[in-house]
Structure 1
């Protein structure tokens, strides 16, 4: 295909349909969505995970709104699993992991997983999925009462099963996904408090901490929100809490900042400034004229640490580029998105299955150093969907309703 084709809504729509065909294989008749291997078969060594089940519920809810055949059935399946299989009927909230017999394997209550439940519930409510209204009511209550720390203006990370013990670790990643979920919740519920909380998180993690670190985002903090720059220095390739800076998250925050600005009546100038600065630093640290792909992590001087190329990183890069181009009109962003769409089509899309390779080596060949299989359609689905929607309100209110 030509670059023009790759940047078209028609190309993205076709690629999204192929992606969803692969993702449908994750449905488990007994409940929930399973972790898929490279061929689209269940990975029996993986238990059922909350974040994947919530993400797949989000994907199929939006797919239904976009008119995708049979997506409502899968979205309903996801809401049912979140309402029963993963739900802690004793203490409220949701278990992080559940085995195939329905027993909780990890009873920790995590902000990351609960943010995706809120995102899924908001999307499912907008899609008219049975049971979504009740799920959303609990998800907003739990996030507002348990994870939101009004003193810090951010979310705590992990809480014990009975909600009595709050872990000292604080994380930027879970708060980033809380921003995304809060923007959806604000639009779907009509309650502006969620947008105010999203702004509060961004002001502190990006406006204060990222700015103070040359726009490389500190990911890890102690209980007082003091950055821990050496965190996991001996586990540099951790899939969720790696050492150093994570350029893919800089792209993701950049996109979310622009979406936040678009949702505000009078966005503050620092939001656009920060979005552009994050994007510029991430590009400077990861983009080479003659080497494709974007590294997973760098040190605090921008030197790559983990050079593997993840599908979610380039998905967020292209989304940030589209958002910034739509907001600023600057040709720089259009040029980079053209390059990245070409790389996505050449290296990441598996044209036999429609899914995306989740991890590539620096030589752009499939590898499994950090991730195995293809359990997650969320990032690729967003990349193939959001560029063709308004920046605000959120996709749950705009997908399938374009003029």
Structure 2
């Protein structure tokens, strides 16, 4: 047996089978009215929830990757998502993208726009019709409305007419802009996007997180001053929880390695910070309350605040361990990679209804306090795909080249 599961034909075959299982489940999210809907735990469309732009964009990204992997039907499903992103989810009058199909919600947020860029970039690499034009438009909107050259980071959100920016800055939306910028840079060949991704990472991780003892700060005011007590009265918010979100430590760890791998002369702090974030996430987040799993959030004294376990955190832990194993060759990362796949197989993979349970309680039983149902497969699908690919270029470009 190979020293690493990453080099094992058996493990790769298992990852391939899990990827097909995930896309089979996710195909049920295609809403005949347009875009991709929110799926229930059973895999049915949740008719009480309007179409969300972030879900549609993430599913479009996944199906573009599935098409590049040779999965029949993936291209048509990616096209279904692109049609919604070019149609009802797009503001034809003022530009940009709504948060979703709810006509009362006209906020235009960086989080959604980051995923529009990612979806368009992956679909462009997959050769889907209209994707390149969508990517160019999305990048133009990000350039004009979200990128702040003075701060080297992105704004959070605007009203529909782009007249009133939200007086809040978020690490989460900027983290996903890093992911989107890496994809945009590799697909378009324009190096400015990778340089901007590096600048965001340097300020949020190498700057703010390092100054805070590597406890990643998530929330800031308009001048990028930390808001450490933000949402203390809503600690389990699905997008802006109080405290520090351990899963983001792991997600940033991986993104720093993707940044490093795509640069001719990367700064040395990228690898050092990636290892530090990973190690701190393991030390403070894994089994923080005595049971297997990562707690959702920690306070600023490293105590668990919200104890439910989110599937996406384990997916990002798997990905960070795989990336660090490939980058360093250290056996300890292989050990964690296996540990977390064993955990996912035991608790998260839902072989009866499909996909992964999105949330578990503190005893690792399916729960729905933060996330109801199974909205998308973006994190889980990347967990079974990216370990097989190089750290650079991004997945869509690597697959297009035969990776």
TM-score tier, shorter chain, comes to over 0.9
DSSP-derived class of the 1:175 partner: helix
DSSP-derived class of the 1:107 partner: coil
Unaligned runs of 5+ residues in structure 2 are none
State the match for 2:43 in structure 1: 40
Q: State the 1:328 CA deviation.
A: 1.0
State the match for 2:321 in structure 1: 321
1:65 and 1:127 in contact (8 A); partners too: yes
1:3 and 1:342 in contact (8 A); partners too: no
- Pairwise CA RMSD: 1.6
Asked if 1:14 is matched to 2:12, the reply is no
1:34 and 1:43 in contact (8 A); partners too: yes
State the match for 1:141 in structure 2: 140
In structure 1, how many angstroms separate the alpha carbons of the residues matched to 2:190 and 2:359?
A: 38
In structure 1, how many angstroms separate the alpha carbons of the residues matched to 2:295 and 2:222?
A: 29
Aligned pairs for 1:54-93 within 5 A: 54-93=57-96
In structure 2, how many angstroms separate the alpha carbons of the residues matched to 1:380 and 1:7?
A: 19
Q: State the 1:352 CA deviation.
A: 2.0
- Cα-to-partner distance string for 1:14-66 (whole Å, 9 max, x where unaligned): 01100110000000112111100011111111111110010000000011001
In structure 1, how many angstroms separate the alpha carbons of the residues matched to 2:171 and 2:205?
A: 9
- The two structures have a TM-score, normalised by structure 1, of 0.96
In structure 1, how many angstroms separate the alpha carbons of the residues matched to 2:364 and 2:37?
A: 27
Q: State the 1:288 CA deviation.
A: 3.1
Aligned pairs for 1:78-157 within 5 A: 78-99=81-102, 104-157=103-156
Asked if 1:182 is matched to 2:144, the reply is no
Aligned length: 398
1:67 and 1:400 in contact (8 A); partners too: no
DSSP-derived class of the 1:393 partner: coil
Aligned pairs for 1:225-264 within 5 A: 225-264=224-263
Q: State the 1:400 CA deviation.
A: 5.8
Q: State the 1:402 CA deviation.
A: 4.0
- Cα-to-partner distance string for 1:233-277 (whole Å, 9 max, x where unaligned): 111111110000101000000000000000000111111111111
With over 3 angstroms needed to count, the CA separation of the structure-2 counterparts of 1:60 and 1:268, relative to structure 1, is same
In structure 2, how many angstroms separate the alpha carbons of the residues matched to 1:126 and 1:348?
A: 31
Equivalent residue in structure 1 for 2:31, among 17, 28, 33: 28
Equivalent residue in structure 2 for 1:53, among 53, 56, 73: 56
- Cα-to-partner distance string for 1:188-241 (whole Å, 9 max, x where unaligned): 001000001000000100011000111111000000100010001111111110
State the match for 2:291 in structure 1: 291
DSSP-derived class of the 1:305 partner: coil
Unaligned runs of 5+ residues in structure 1 are none
DSSP-derived class of the 1:317 partner: helix
Name which of structure 1's ranges 196-205 and 278-287 shifts more when overlaid on structure 2: 278-287
- The two structures have a TM-score, normalised by structure 2, of 0.96
- Cα-to-partner distance string for 1:161-204 (whole Å, 9 max, x where unaligned): 11111111000000000000000000000100000100000010
In structure 1, how many angstroms separate the alpha carbons of the residues matched to 2:360 and 2:145?
A: 38
DSSP-derived class of the 1:167 partner: coil
1:58 and 1:120 in contact (8 A); partners too: yes
Q: State the 1:6 CA deviation.
A: 11
DSSP-derived class of the 1:384 partner: helix
In structure 1, how many angstroms separate the alpha carbons of the residues matched to 2:163 and 2:377?
A: 34
In structure 1, how many angstroms separate the alpha carbons of the residues matched to 2:104 and 2:382?
A: 30
1:18 and 1:353 in contact (8 A); partners too: no
DSSP-derived class of the 1:106 partner: coil
DSSP-derived class of the 2:95 partner: coil
In structure 1, how many angstroms separate the alpha carbons of the residues matched to 2:143 and 2:253?
A: 24
